[in-house]
Structure 1
Amino acid sequence: MTDTDDAVSDAEQAVIARYQLANDGFGEPHQRTTVRQAQECLTKAINQAGVGEFDGNEFGGGQVALYAYGPDADALYSVMAPVLHELPFRPAHVTLRYGSAADPSTPERRLDL
């Protein structure tokens, strides 16, 4: 393994899910409650699988983003996918980031939910 390979394998990868909400602000109260319930499920699933950590959410602009980080974005997404697909808000998509957000050459993959 080269030094470059070490840097890539040590980089923190991410799964970022984005959902459209009912209005231009923070969504309706029931939507925020649904997201918080999903967060509990995501945290439990990720911790049980040992694939990373759920890092939280960001509401605003009529959307919510959910953030999770770990050493393997694909493994992380495979654990998260059942919960992410159950959230009813659309349009929605997930971005799998295979390295540091600070590096503009980091590969990403976008999947519609």
Structure 2
Amino acid sequence: MDTLFDLPESEAPEEAVIARYRLSDDAYGSPAEREAFFDAERTLSAAVEAAGVGDVDGNEFGAGEVVLYAYGPDAAALFKVMEPALRGLPFRPAHVVLRQGSQETESRVDL
């Protein structure tokens, strides 16, 4: 054992929920779109934290889309908490990728 780092021997792989939304232009969307997204992101963070299913890790804007990243031990449980707010955003087309398990199996859910 390397005593320099105190890492757990075996840790369950972290799973992910990655939501992608198309914005109204080919850059960063309108100020109103960004504000609506940031409001939803705060709501999602609070819901995920309250449910104890993971963490909303942030977002990326650019090239006409916004991507939201969330991680936790169970992507399905994380998505269940996030789904109402994700579906509530008006930007389309939109979809979510659930990345699950040690083999990083991916499934797509259209919103």
TM-score by length of 2: 0.88
Secondary structure (helix, strand or coil) at the match of 2:26 reads coil
TM-score by length of 1: 0.87
| RMSD of aligned Cα (Å) | 1.3
Which residue of 75, 79, 97 maps to 2:99?
A: 97
* Structure 2 residue 55 is the aligned partner of structure 1 residue 57: no
Shift of 1:61: 0.3
* Greater per-residue helix proportion: 1
Secondary structure (helix, strand or coil) at the match of 2:25 reads coil
Give % identity: 56
Structure 2 gaps, min length 5: 1-9
| Structure 2 letter corresponding to 1:110 | R
Shift of 1:99: 3.7
Q: Distance in 2 between matches of 1:73 and 1:96?
A: 6
Secondary structure (helix, strand or coil) at the match of 1:23 reads coil
| Structure 2 letter corresponding to 1:73 | A
Q: 1:81 — aligned with what?
A: 83
Within 5 Å, which residues of 2 pair with 1:16-95? 16-95=18-97
Q: Distance in 2 between matches of 1:62 and 1:21?
A: 5
The number of residues matched between the two structures is 102
Shift of 1:89: 0.2
Structure 1 gaps, min length 5: 1-6
Asked if 2 retains the 8 angstrom alpha-carbon contact of 1:16 and 1:65, the reply is yes
Q: Distance in 2 between matches of 1:77 and 1:106?
A: 16
Highest CA radius of gyration, 1 or 2? 2
CA deviation profile, 1:81-109 (whole Å, cap 9, x unmatched): 00000000000000000146xxxx42000
